[in-house]
C-alpha cells in the first residue's frame, strides 16, 4: 500500500482545487455508459481497462516549492496524480460539511429484523421506525418526530460512537455515514489506495480503499469511496467503522449522494445490513435498514422561524359579486381554509411533497372513480404524497394524502384505486375532519411536534361506513373487474402484518391493521386467489422504494422509471421489504430523463437519481 506521509499547506490545496475546477469545467461531460450494477467487490472491467494506470505520486519537494499565498493560478490541467485527487476530495469533503452545517434535513430510518424462512430466505420478523430532523452543524444532532418511545435518545452524540451502536438501535447511528469522518478526514488519520475506475450510473468514478492509520483511534472509517472524476467529490461510501470499542458494534453501511445542487453531492440514501444465515453462523443479529434523507432546503425548524413560516392565506371569495356568503358557503370556505393550512404546514415541515407529477397520477385514479360514480363535489378533490414510509392514507377537507411507502408497495392501479376510494368515500360521506385547523394559532408548532399537533383519525363507525362506500365506488368503476388483485394485496399484507408493526403504525390517519389484523377494506380481502409464494407470476405486493423517488433537496416526488426484470424465485418477490439502494447517479443539470435504473429483480426496483432542478 502506498504510504502518504507528506504534508501540504492549506493555501496549496485551495489553488489546486481552483485549477481542477476550471479544468473540469472545460472538459466535455463523461460519456454515458451501461450502468455497472455490481457491488464494490466486482469491477467494471471494460471501463477500468480503458483507463491509463494512475501516475506515480508527486514528490514532497515539488509540493513545497509550489507558490504559496499567491492569487489563484490560471487554468491548469486537472490533477495529474492520484495524490492530487485524494487531496481534492478530502478538501471537498470538508467543503460539503461546511456547506451543510446550517441544514436540518429530515432523516427517516426503517429497519426490519430478519429471520430465516426455508422457502423465502431472510424475511422480516419485526420492524422499527425512526423519523427526525438532523442538525448537521458542529454537533450532529437530531430531534425526533416520534415521541412515544426512545425519547431519551442521546441528544448529543458527537464523539459518542461507543454509545451509538449498541444493540438497542440508535436512530442517529444509521445516518452517521453521511460523512466518512466528520472531524479527522485527512491524511494523518487515513491511508488512501486507488483501486480502479468504475461507472455509477452516468458518472465515471475513481474508486479508493480507505483504511485508518494505526494510531488513528477508534471508530474510524474503513471501506471504499467512489469519487466522481470531474469535481472530485465523494459520491458513495461503503464500509464500516473500526476498531469498535468494547461492548459495542459498528454496522456496515452503503451511503449514496446525489448531485442536487451545483458543485455538491448531497448525502441521500444509506443502506445498512447485518446478518449471516449460513450454517453454523454465530452472530444472531440480522437486519436490513433503509435510511432516507430529505428536506435539505427546508427552513430550520426552530422557534424563531415559526412565526415567519406561517403565511395566512387570504381565503378565495368564490361567491358571485355583490352577494353575501350563505351559511353553507361560509362552512365550505372555512373547511377549505383548514385544508390549505394543514397542507401548507405539512409541506413546511418536510412531511408532504410539493405538488407534482405523482399527484397527477393519483388524481387520474380519483377522477376515474368520481366520473363513473357521478360524483359531483362543490370543490375538486386533490391528492398529495406524504413523504414517509409507513403505510397510511388520510384526508383533510377535499385533499387525499397517501404515503410514499404505500404507493411503493401497491402492486397495480386497482389496488391504488382501492386505498384512494376509502378516502374519497370519507369526503363523499361528509366525514370532514380538521376544521379546527382553520384557526391559524393551531398551525404554530415546531416541526418535530407535528404528530402531536395534527391528526385525522376517524371514529370506527366512520371507518366502517367509508369501507362500505368505497366498495360501492369500486364496483361502479373501471377497476371493478380487477378487485381480485386488491384482495391479493390485502392477503399479502395480512401475511406480513404481525411482523410489520412499525410499517403499519400510522401517524396522522387511521391504521390499516389493528393488533396484527388488517381491517381496512376487509370485505375485499376474501376476494381473489389464495396467496401462493411458489407462483412466480403472482405479485401481491412490492418492496419499498420501487415506485416513488423523492428529491432530497426540494422534496419533489416523481415516479421511478424501471425496466422489468424477471423474477426467478419466490425470494425475488420481497413484499413490503427493504432492499439495498442503487440510485442511478447523474450530474446536476444532466437533466434529461434517465434510462431505466439497474435492478436485480423486478420486485426490487430501486430509487434512481432525482432529476435536476
Ligand atoms: Zn378512513
pLDDT digits (tens, 9 = 90+) for 313-338: 444 555 555 678 889 888 888 889 99
| 395 Cα: distance to centroid of ligand 1 (angstroms) | 8
Q: Which helix (H) or strand (E) holds 471?
A: helix 460-475
Nearest to residue 573, comparing CAs of 534, 606, 518?
Answer: 534
Nearest to residue 173, comparing CAs of 241, 99, 265, 115?
Answer: 241
Report angle CA 133, 139, 142 to the nearest 5 degrees.
20
| 454 Cα: distance to centroid of ligand 1 (angstroms) | 16
Confidence (pLDDT) at 421: 98
pLDDT at 200 over 90: yes
| 517 Cα: distance to centroid of ligand 1 (angstroms) | 16
| 198 Cα: distance to centroid of ligand 1 (angstroms) | 49
| 457 Cα: distance to centroid of ligand 1 (angstroms) | 7
Highest mean pLDDT among 61-65, 97-101, 150-154, 562-566: 97-101
Summarize the confidence of residues 553-575 as an average pLDDT.
87
What tens digit of pLDDT does each residue of 125-140 get? 999 998 888 888 765 5
| 426 Cα: distance to centroid of ligand 1 (angstroms) | 7
| 510 Cα: distance to centroid of ligand 1 (angstroms) | 6
What tens digit of pLDDT does each residue of 51-95 get? 333 333 333 333 333 333 333 333 445 787 899 999 999 999 999
Report angle CA 381, 386, 389 to the nearest 5 degrees.
140
Q: Which helix (H) or strand (E) holds 406?
A: helix 404-409
Q: Which pLDDT band, with edges at 50, 70 and 90, does 170 fall under?
A: low
Confidence (pLDDT) at 601: 35
pLDDT at 557 over 90: yes
pLDDT at 165 over 60: no
| 357 Cα: distance to centroid of ligand 1 (angstroms) | 25
Summarize the confidence of residues 183-208 as an average pLDDT.
95
| 401 Cα: distance to centroid of ligand 1 (angstroms) | 11
| 394 Cα: distance to centroid of ligand 1 (angstroms) | 7
Return the bridge partners of 445, or none. Answer: none
| 391 Cα: distance to centroid of ligand 1 (angstroms) | 13
| 525 Cα: distance to centroid of ligand 1 (angstroms) | 16
C-alpha to C-alpha distance for 572 and 494, rounded to whole angstroms: 19
pTM of the shown model: 0.78
**Phi, psi values for residue 420, rounded to 5°:** -70, -35
| 412 Cα: distance to centroid of ligand 1 (angstroms) | 21
Biggest CA pair distance of the chain: 86
| 392 Cα: distance to centroid of ligand 1 (angstroms) | 10
| 576 Cα: distance to centroid of ligand 1 (angstroms) | 21
Return the HEC string of 136-178.
Answer: CCCCCEEEECCCCCCCCCCCCCCCCHHHHCCCCCCHHHHCHHH
Highest mean pLDDT among 120-134, 164-178, 397-411: 397-411
Highest mean pLDDT among 136-145, 359-368, 586-595: 359-368
| 455 Cα: distance to centroid of ligand 1 (angstroms) | 12
pLDDT at 291 over 50: yes
| 521 Cα: distance to centroid of ligand 1 (angstroms) | 10
Summarize the confidence of residues 373-395 as an average pLDDT.
95
Nearest to residue 504, comparing CAs of 479, 541, 462?
Answer: 541
Return the HEC string of 15-80.
Answer: HHHHHHHHHHHHCCCCCCCCCCCCCCCCCCHHHHHHCCCCECCCCHHHHHHCCCCCCCCCCCCCCC
Q: Which pLDDT band, with edges at 50, 70 and 90, does 344 fall under?
A: very high
| 425 Cα: distance to centroid of ligand 1 (angstroms) | 8
Chain-wide mean pLDDT for the chain? Answer: 77
| 339 Cα: distance to centroid of ligand 1 (angstroms) | 17
Chain centroid, CA 199 distance in Å: 22
pLDDT at 553 over 70: yes
| 388 Cα: distance to centroid of ligand 1 (angstroms) | 18
What tens digit of pLDDT does each residue of 423-451 get? 999 999 999 877 888 888 888 888 888 88
Summarize the confidence of residues 10-15 as an average pLDDT.
24
| 345 Cα: distance to centroid of ligand 1 (angstroms) | 21
Confidence (pLDDT) at 169: 60
| 82 Cα: distance to centroid of ligand 1 (angstroms) | 59
Summarize the confidence of residues 283-297 as an average pLDDT.
88
Q: Which residue has the higher pLDDT, 523 or 33?
A: 523
pLDDT at 270 over 80: yes
CA dihedral sign of residues 503, 509, 513, 518: negative
Confidence (pLDDT) at 147: 55
Q: Which residue has the higher pLDDT, 530 or 182?
A: 530
Q: Among 165-179, 337-351, 545-559, whose mean pLDDT is lowest?
A: 165-179
Amino acid at each position: 500500500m502506498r504510504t502518504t506521509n507528506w504534508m501540504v499547506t492549506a493555501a496549496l490545496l485551495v489553488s489546486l482545487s481552483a485549477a481542477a475546477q476550471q479544468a473540469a469545467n472545460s472538459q466535455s461531460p463523461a460519456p454515458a455508459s451501461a450502468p455497472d450494477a455490481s457491488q464494490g467487490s466486482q469491477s467494471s472491467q471494460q471501463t477500468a481497462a480503458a483507463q491509463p494506470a494512475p501516475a506515480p505520486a508527486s514528490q514532497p519537494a515539488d509540493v513545497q516549492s509550489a507558490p504559496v499565498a499567491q492569487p489563484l493560478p490560471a487554468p491548469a490541467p486537472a490533477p495529474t496524480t492520484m495524490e492530487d485527487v485524494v487531496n481534492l476530495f478530502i478538501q471537498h469533503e470538508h467543503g460539503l460539511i461546511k456547506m451543510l452545517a446550517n441544514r436540518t434535513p429530515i432523516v427517516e430510518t426503517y429497519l426490519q429484523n430478519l429471520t430465516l424462512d426455508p422457502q423465502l430466505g431472510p424475511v422480516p420478523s419485526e420492524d422499527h421506525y425512526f423519523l427526525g430532523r438532523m442538525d448537521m452543524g458542529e454537533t450532529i444532532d437530531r430531534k425526533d418526530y416520534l415521541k412515544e418511545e426512545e425519547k431519551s435518545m442521546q441528544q448529543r452524540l458527537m464523539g459518542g460512537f461507543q454509545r451509538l451502536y449498541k444493540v438497542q438501535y440508535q436512530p442517529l447511528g444509521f445516518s452517521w455515514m453521511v460523512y466518512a469522518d466528520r472531524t479527522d478526514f485527512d491524511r494523518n488519520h487515513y491511508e488512501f489506495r486507488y483501486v480502479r475506475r468504475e461507472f455509477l450510473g452516468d458518472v465515471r468514478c475513481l474508486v479508493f480503499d480507505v483504511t485508518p492509520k494505526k494510531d488513528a483511534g477508534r471508530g474510524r472509517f474503513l471501506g471504499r469511496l467512489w469519487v466522481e472524476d470531474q469535481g472530485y467529490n465523494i459520491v458513495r461510501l461503503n464500509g464500516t467503522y473500526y476498531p469498535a470499542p468494547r461492548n459495542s458494534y459498528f454496522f456496515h453501511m452503503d451511503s449514496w449522494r446525489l448531485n442536487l445542487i451545483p458543485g455538491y453531492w448531497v448525502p441521500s440514501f444509506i443502506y445498512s445490513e447485518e446478518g449471516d444465515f449460513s450454517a453454523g453462523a454465530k452472530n444472531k443479529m440480522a437486519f436490513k435498514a433503509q435510511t432516507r434523507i430529505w428536506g435539505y432546503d427546508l427552513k430550520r425548524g426552530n422557534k424563531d422561524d415559526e412565526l415567519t413560516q406561517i403565511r395566512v392565506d387570504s381565503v378565495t371569495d368564490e361567491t358571485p359579486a355583490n352577494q353575501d356568503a350563505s351559511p353553507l358557503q361560509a362552512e365550505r370556505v372555512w373547511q377549505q381554509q383548514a385544508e390549505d393550512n394543514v397542507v401548507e404546514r405539512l409541506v413546511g415541515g418536510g412531511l408532504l411533497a410539493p405538488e407534482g407529477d405523482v399527484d397527477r397520477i393519483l388524481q387520474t385514479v380519483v377522477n376515474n372513480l368520481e366520473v363513473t360514480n357521478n360524483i359531483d363535489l362543490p370543490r375538486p378533490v386533490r391528492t398529495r404524497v406524504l413523504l414517509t414510509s409507513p403505510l397510511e392514507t388520510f384526508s383533510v377537507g377535499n385533499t387525499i394524502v397517501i404515503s410514499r411507502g404505500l404507493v411503493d408497495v401497491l402492486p397495480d392501479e386497482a389496488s391504488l384505486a382501492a386505498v384512494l376510494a376509502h378516502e374519497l368515500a370519507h369526503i363523499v360521506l361528509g366525514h370532514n375532519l380538521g376544521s379546527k385547523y382553520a384557526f391559524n394559532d393551531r398551525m404554530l408548532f415546531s416541526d418535530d411536534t407535528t404528530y402531536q399537533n395534527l391528526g385525522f383519525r376517524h371514529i370506527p363507525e366512520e371507518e366502517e361506513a367509508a369501507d362500505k362506500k368505497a366498495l360501492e365506488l369500486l364496483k361502479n368503476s373501471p377497476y371493478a373487474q380487477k378487485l381480485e388483485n386488491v384482495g391479493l394485496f390485502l392477503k399479502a399484507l395480512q401475511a406480513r402484518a404481525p411482523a410489520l408493526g412499525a410499517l403499519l403504525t400510522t401517524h396522522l390517519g387511521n391504521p390499516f391493521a389493528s393488533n396484527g389484523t388488517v381491517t381496512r377494506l376487509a370485505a375485499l380481502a376474501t376476494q381473489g386467489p389464495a396467496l401462493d409464494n411458489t407462483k412466480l407470476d403472482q405479485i401481491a405486493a412490492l418492496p419499498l422504494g420501487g415506485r416513488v423517488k423523492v428529491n432530497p433537496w426540494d422534496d419533489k416526488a416523481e415516479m421511478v422509471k424501471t425496466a422489468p426484470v424477471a423474477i426467478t424465485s419466490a425470494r425475488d418477490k420481497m413484499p413490503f421489504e427493504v432492499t439495498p439502494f442503487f440510485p442511478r447517479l447523474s450530474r446536476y443539470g444532466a437533466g434529461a430523463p434517465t434510462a431505466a435504473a439497474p435492478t436485480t429483480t423486478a420486485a426490487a426496483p430501486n430509487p434512481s437519481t432525482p432529476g435536476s432542478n
